[in-house]
Amino acid sequence: MDAAATTTASTEYTLGEEEEMGVAQRLTRRQRKRRGTSDNAANTAENAVDLTEGSDVTSPVSNVAASGGGGAKKAEEHIGVDVVATVPAQELDEHEGLDEASLREHEEVTKVKNVMQVQLGPFRMETWYFSPIPKELLKDGGVVEVLYVCEFTLNFFTRSEELLRYQSKLPQDRRHPPGNEIYRNKNLSMFEVDGFDERIYCQNLCYIAKMFLDHKTLYYDVDPFLFYVLCEVDERGFHPVGYYSKEKYSDVGYNLACILTFPSQQRKGYGRFLISFSYELTKKEEKVGSPEKPISDLGQQAYLPYWTSTIVDFLRKTDDEGSMSIMDISKRTSIMAEDIVFALNQLGILKFINGVYFIAAERNLLDQLAMKHPVKEPKVDPTKLHWTPFITDVKRDKFSIHSKKPSVRDEEFRGCTE
């Protein structure tokens, strides 16, 4: 099978002479710490983001506090001007609980890629990291040069002839992901796949994702998760371009666990589309949501443009409503309040005056911010979404918008009607 396009990852490392060995090695975070290598140097893809990685989210407050020479006093003064203090995310160690012997064995097994390239549809992509694919697929040297994947069923093959023979017998009505199609707009389609009903498909999807994500830990236990697979549609069928997963029920209000746009499909806006789609489902549930925390640096880079553009667009559309609280924005955008505060800080429009926080945004400033943070295509059309949320007890669900405290304006309106 000829590859119509080839995607490779060009990542620079500061690992001394190891780069000259001719083997594409990837070090774990603990190894990079030992060598003094920056953890951020291991990732380059804008849309290939694992949100479960434990990276610190540093706010301007922490920068001031760490500057020395009366840093704490400067931080307090800085907070009083226009910044809300935020707590740095907890450092997450994915190797917690492993003894030294188990850790050495784990690092020895996972430091070298076992799949060199993966072919999905017409695209052959160079992988970036080790993935624990089934051992039956590995050859004598424990390495697969090219892993051929059926883009409709995600079955794995080690020879192109096997894949061609398999797809020649695949019925036309099977040329799509399993599960329910819940969204269709022009050439984009979204399928909801239950990890309990389609274990093999979801596990294989996780294996593929691990080839491009350094810190992904979900491979086998896919039962508690729902997978949302984004596809491009043509006369041949439905071709996956990316996906995200979420827990069926989250006690802490997470609406997204892991997100990936395949390298061959990046720079098309699909990463932001997946993030936007996760919030559209949260709106359908009448809840507020947030990506799984602690959020990684790359996760923050992916989410911050969505948060800022969505909030600025919302403020421009509701400019005639006058006062607007953080809770009002949260209820109507389904973005969690702490994420709104973080985004407003980054926009520089959250002010602290006489002990009260204000969103200081005049129309001219909002227009300037809208040009700097536009809502980009492709956009999610809520009218094309056909999906019914799982019904839960609203009174017990603290993330339901109906359980949120009303704003001051709502209280005043209710007092007038009474």
Among residues 151, 198, 285, 292, the one annotated as catalytic is: 292
Distance CA 62, CA 68 (A): 11
Known active-site residue 292? yes
**234 CB burial (10 A radius; 0-12, 13-18, 19+):** exposed
Distance CA 54, CA 337 (A): 21
Distance CA 334, CA 287 (A): 6
Contacts of residue 225, Cβ cutoff 8 Å, sequence gap at least 6: 195, 202, 218, 245, 246, 247, 248, 257
Residues carrying an active site annotation: 292
